A and B are shown apart, each in its own frame.
Chain A
Amino acid sequence: MSNDIVSVQGVSKRFGSVLAVDDVSFGIPRNEFFALLGPSGCGKTTLLRIIAGLEHPDDGAVIIDGEDMAGIPPNRRPVNMVFQSYAVFPHMTVAQNVAYGLRVTGTPRAEVSRRVDEALEIVQLAGLAGRKPHQLSGGQRQRVALARALVKRPKVLLLDEPLSALDAKLREQMRLELANLQQQVGITFIIVTHDQDEALSMADRIAVMNEGRVCQTATPDVLYESPASRFVAEFIGKVNLFESRVLGANGRTLAVEVGELGALEVPHEKAGPREGAAIALAVRPEKLTISTAPPDGDGRARLAVAARVINWAYYGDTSHMYVRTEKGLELNVNIQNTTRDTAESLNVGDAVWVSWAAADMIVLEE
């Protein structure tokens, strides 16, 4: 814990009758790009504002670089925030905006101008120092907000939905830029987002939140490939779910009975659930393979079901196929359009086989 730059310990916050943040704890190591991900209203922004000092927790503590932040107002915390609306002061120029945080703390003039130039250089706004915010595009305003926060050299930079106001193309570009920027300046970033792609592509670690609680904190690949709960599995990416019942466990694998598929064995390392317990199995759409001929066993344990194509959506690089098995189970299969005629080879109503490796099944106990 001592190595953590930010430590959130049992923090709760109530607004009237709503428990916005419910007993949340986590630690963030130095120089990490950490994301708080969750649907709107899950408490992620409230948590960020608690770290910034703009809200006071009802319970729990926020420790930043070993110092308890209780009772320390936002203007005396070693963190800075990029607001969702950017909050770039409309009555000041770009340079005045960036200089503001240094001037109010009495930094000498020469140092202010040097650091402002530096910060504007980092966010590639050097030529626009004299502009007023209304003369800037949304993307440029965001860079001003970034420069204004970074120029303070905070120990932690907080970003509240920083990309939500940008258009899709710019958003993708800024994702890469933010990740690079974080490497370049070597500051811990905490980003709040409801966009799973944003979190997966930028963050070193993600805390998934729902209804004020942290459901799982893990690296992006662990969250995606081994979600701890049904909520996480469904919130991040798409998933095919099978309601099933546990038949038995042997420590390495779990024998389960799935209504639509019959009895099967799936890998499960953890201490298994009790026999007879109702669990869910999940498999990601891209782990499924679709073929017109019955798949032949290739040595690995593979599951296969006959189905019919009922719908599909074409995305250029991929196609999302929706199929229904004879027992009425609907599955979502993502296929890569690896050749120019892949998309033409299947039509609605075609009889197909869907198969996948048993090892790709995720066991969800909750």
Chain B
Amino acid sequence: MESWRKHPLVFWILALPGSVWLVVFFLVPLAFVWVMSFGEKRGLLDIEITWTLSQYKAAFQPVYFKIIWKSLWISALVTALCIVLAYPVAFLVAFASPRAKPILLLLVIMPFWINMLIRTYALIAVFRTRGYVNFTLEWLWNTFWLDRLFGPFVPLELLYNNFAVIAGITYVFMPFMVLPLYATIERLDKSYLEASLDLGASQVRTFFSVTVPLTMPGIVSGIILVFIPAMGSFLIPDLLGGTNAQMVGNVIARQFKAANDWPFGAALSFLLMYATFGALALRALFAGRKSAMEV
């Protein structure tokens, strides 16, 4: 870093392309959208910026508020599911032998290599009425002669409802929870866990009194990495959720496309942004606390 400070010109030249890219293609459009959220629609294409808060107020109409509220609880539930499912996986990877570790990590990130659209369509094949879950259940049903007792197997309705959306989002975002958890568990000094056992605590007690508090930074990172994108997801609810399981992402997408109400879409988007900033502030708070702990 020292030599960077000595040659500021080199520093600026190297930083310029990336900075320009970010400003032109990210910050400026973002500012556009933000300004637009204070505008009003006049005619088919005209938008007048009147600095009104009416778009934000509209977002709290019962019909939209219900969808925002549903997005919130679905995202919260997905995040909770991810923590519960990812923690054992992260533990397993962190405690695996040096030879197995890279393979297990590879398995965790492998889904990233496949296009999300394809993975989501694949889930349709898994969950639909004549899908793999129902095939398996039907086979079990018939194998254990339940068909003779209760009649033929009735396939479960797994697709185009909240269940499918929750399962789909959990499936897609779980690696984002595993990785930060793995990183903190990996760095955790194992002698803390041994000390806890040595002092008479059970494995369960050790987990809740020592492991969880000491891996809290990883949990918080994971929550942010899962909760925020989950709130914004629209592809998965669009494909798996059907009409009655849409989330706020679908509403936003519709404002910019079919409904052609950009100011309202912008306001909804920025409501999500404000939530994101809130979550990041929360994370900064935890990070600050953690660095104080490690001094």
Contact = CB atoms under 8 A, between A and B. Distances in A.
Given A76-B200, A89-B192, A101-B201, 6 more contacts: A75-B197, A75-B201, A75-B202, A83-B194, A91-B214, A134-B293
Interface residues of B, number: 21
A148 B293 contact: no
Contacts of B197: 54, 73-75
14 contacts: A52-B198, A54-B194, A74-B194, A74-B198, A75-B197, A89-B192, A89-B196, A90-B214, A90-B294, A91-B214, A100-B209, A101-B200, A105-B200, A152-B200
Contacts of B192: 87, 89
A46 interface: no
A89 B295 CA distance: 13
Nearest to A79: B198
Interface in A58-105: 73-76, 79-81, 83-85, 87, 89-91, 100-101, 104-105
Interface residues of A, number: 26
B198 A75 contact: yes
Interface in B175-222: 189, 191-192, 194-202, 205, 209-210, 213-214
B293 A90 contact: yes
B198 A85 contact: no
Contact of A134 (B195, B205, B294): B294
B295 A152 contact: no
A104 B189 CA distance: 21
Contact of A100 (B191, B199, B293): B199
A76 B192 CA distance: 17
Contacts of A100: 196, 199, 201, 209
A320 interface: no
A132 interface: yes
Nearest to A132: B293
Interface string B114-145: 00000000000000000000000000000000
Contacts of B213: 91
Among A52, A87, A101, find the residue whose CB has the most chain B CB atoms closer than 10 A: A87
B292 interface: yes
Given A54-B197, A80-B198, A105-B200, A87 B293 contact: no
A75 B293 contact: no
Contacts of B194: 54, 74, 81, 83, 87
B199 A91 contact: no
A81 B199 CA distance: 8
Contact of B295 (A52, A85, A134): A134
A104 B292 contact: no
Contacts of B200: 75-76, 101, 104-105, 152
Among B189, B198, B214, find the residue whose CB has the most chain A CB atoms closer than 10 A: B198
Please name the 9 residue pairs, one residue from A and one from B, whose CB atoms are nearest each other, closest first: A101-B199, A87-B195, A104-B201, A87-B191, A134-B295, A74-B197, A91-B213, A83-B191, A105-B200
Contacts of A152: 199-200
B203 to A, nearest CB: 8
Contacts of A75: 197-202
B204 to A, nearest CB: 10
A134 B205 CA distance: 24
A40 B195 CA distance: 22
A104 B199 contact: yes
A91 B293 contact: yes
Contacts of B189: 85, 87
Contact of B205 (A85, A91, A104): A104
A148 B200 CA distance: 11
Interface string B145-176: 00000000000000000000000000000000
A87 B192 CA distance: 5
A52 B209 CA distance: 21
